Amino acid sequence: MSRLQDLSNEQAVLQLTNIKGIGRWTAEMFLIFSLGRKDVLALDDVGLQRGAKWLYQVPDGERRRILAAKSKLWHGHYTIASFYLWEAVHHNLVSQPLTIEELKL
């Protein structure tokens, strides 16, 4: 097994997701919080999607799409952009929590 620090983000995600019980989101969080990677964007993170929905004022069904589309502007700084979107949620700028129905989108 290669040292995770020496692999690209995608290669590290592939290595980690080969371990039973570790999915893409978990691997991406590991890259951010354990390896200190500065260019990781977890598109499936609900907090990031909520932050993007608030920031760009789009309907619920557009959360992931707008996050993916706008993320191109943040290339090289995905992790920093993620921290800002998470903080928008933590500081209650995003006013309503998601319902079960919204999570199924």
CB 104 within 8 A of CB 66: no
The active-site residue, picked from 6, 39, 44, 45, is: 45
Is residue 72 helix, strand or coil? Answer: helix
* Length of the chain as a residue count: 105
Round to the nearest angstrom and report the end-to-end CA distance of the chain.
36
Distance of CA 47 to the CA centre of its chain: 8
Is 44 catalytic? The answer is no
List, by residue number, the catalytic residues: 45
